[in-house]
Chain A
Amino acid sequence: MNSVERVWALLKKDILFEWRNKTAIAGWLVYVTVTTFIIYLSFRGHLSNPAWMSLYWIVVIFSLLNTSTILFKKEYGGMFYYIRSLASPLEIFTSKALWNFVLSFITALTATFIFSVFFGNIFSGKVLLWGGLVFGGILGLSNILTLLSALVASSNNLVLLAIIGLPVLIPLILILIQHGQMILVDVMPQAEMNNQWMILALLNVVIIFLAIILFNYIWRE
């Protein structure tokens, strides 16, 4: 069995677990819908564009924090030693990060859909740009959260992931909100937009690189 097959096998195991008890799927669906509804009630149905952007990312991030907490929960105890004998840390990290990315991307798309239903579609002509931004943002967010959830998996504190995750995510959130607002405004010169995409891409590269290197040290029990 080579590396790719191992990663795929680990991924299939996670998907199967998920399909059987559906905790994460139910989590994001309920979370996103309920929070959006609460926002709808408090803002009486009308959101300005910047507010749409900021609230969207807040809802997505809190939903991701919820789903990421349970990512490594099962991997401690006896399961830990079993998995460790099967696959290298890089493969384990790749499978977890891919799984987290898939879950997070579905969450973000659902949130886009639900936000558009409640507050109107503000990205009518720019779906591709928005899709690219969500892709880049979720890539960075899911990798950071995978790494951090491995850090806090062994503790009993349920909010620890939120406590350590939110401050570290602040730079990425700022970049995403600003980038999103630049997409909404039509008069942005192309050079500025390219600058923003480059910053997002570079940040993602740095995050993935760091996460892969650091995960080896976490996993070395």
Chain B
Amino acid sequence: MISGKISLLWKTLSIVLLLYTVGYGFLVKIPELPILNESIRNLFFHVPMWFAMMFMMLISLVSSISYLATSKQKYDILAAEVAKVGFVFGCLGILTGMVWAQVTWGAWWVFEEVKLNGAAAGLLIYAAYFILRGSFTKENMKARFSAVYNIFAFVMYMVLINVIPRITDSSLHPGNGGNPGFNAYDLDNNLRTVFYPAVIGWTLLAFWISTLKFRIEMIKYKRIDNEA
């Protein structure tokens, strides 16, 4: 009973926060920045997508480690489903970024920009994870080997998006020049009031979608298990 109420709570919270983001996000007063102008509102969509992806991949990592520790199939199924949702959010992050780039930098993609290439490479790492999963027929081998790859992939992904941008100097991304964070990014208090709820809202939505997918996959798995 109590778990039902808790899940109702965070799911409602997610919807409320997202409605707030989409609603107030277009009405909030923005700072006067050249080049960016009104497109700075994309901050409430583009950046939270990446936060959601990172959180989902983190959950996937923890789930993979749990699988290796306990050999319970449900952890492997959770790892795969969360990674799939994270991947979709990563694609959305790239799409929102491309729209933003076209408006502010004049091009859909800039090959010299390290963060863009890092983001695309990160998606490739997880696409390889799904391909690896598809290549195994035996369930326990698939689960074990993809858990091993997931752990390795997550570490390399963190290197890719956190270490590499810090060691290259120039970047078109606002607030960069060695620091991939957005602290120097002129986030004034008005933007913060929508930004933080947006991150929470989008992450909760991603988690909600992955729990639904997880439940579907568990039903499928149990049904095959019972028939076998």
Is B145 at the interface (CB under 8 A from chain A)? yes
Is A195 at the interface (CB under 8 A from chain B)? yes
Task: Report whether B164 and A163 are in contact in the complex, using a CB–CB cutoff of 8 Å.
Answer: no
Residues of B near A166 (CB, < 8 A) are 124, 128
Q: A170's closest neighbor in chain B, by CB?
A: B121
Is B22 at the interface (CB under 8 A from chain A)? no
Is A155 at the interface (CB under 8 A from chain B)? yes
The minimal Cβ–Cβ distance linking A185 to chain B, given in whole angstroms, is 13
Residues of B near A147 (CB, < 8 A) are 148, 152
Is A210 at the interface (CB under 8 A from chain B)? yes
Task: Report whether A171 and B148 are in contact in the complex, using a CB–CB cutoff of 8 Å.
Answer: no
Q: B136's closest neighbor in chain A, by CB?
A: A155
> What is A's interface to B at a CB cutoff of 8 Å?
144, 147-148, 151-152, 154-155, 157, 160, 163-164, 166-168, 170-172, 174-175, 178, 195-196, 199, 203, 206, 210-211, 214, 217-218, 220
Task: Report whether B121 and A167 are in contact in the complex, using a CB–CB cutoff of 8 Å.
Answer: yes
Task: Report whether B121 and A164 are in contact in the complex, using a CB–CB cutoff of 8 Å.
Answer: no
CA distance A168 to B126 in the complex (A): 9
Contact residues, B158-184 vs A (CB, 8 A): 159-160, 163-164, 167-168
Task: Report whether B147 and A155 are in contact in the complex, using a CB–CB cutoff of 8 Å.
Answer: no
Task: Report whether B167 and A168 are in contact in the complex, using a CB–CB cutoff of 8 Å.
Answer: no
CA distance A174 to B68 in the complex (A): 31
Task: Report whether A151 and B145 are in contact in the complex, using a CB–CB cutoff of 8 Å.
Answer: yes
Task: Give 7 A-B contacts (CB < 8 Å), ordered by A residue.
Answer: A154-B141, A164-B129, A166-B128, A168-B152, A171-B163, A174-B164, A175-B167
Task: Report whether A163 and B128 are in contact in the complex, using a CB–CB cutoff of 8 Å.
Answer: yes
Task: Report whether B159 and A164 are in contact in the complex, using a CB–CB cutoff of 8 Å.
Answer: no
Task: Report whether A170 and B135 are in contact in the complex, using a CB–CB cutoff of 8 Å.
Answer: no
Residues of A near B153 (CB, < 8 A) are 167-168
Residues of B near A167 (CB, < 8 A) are 121, 124-125, 127-128, 153
The minimal Cβ–Cβ distance linking B154 to chain A, given in whole angstroms, is 10
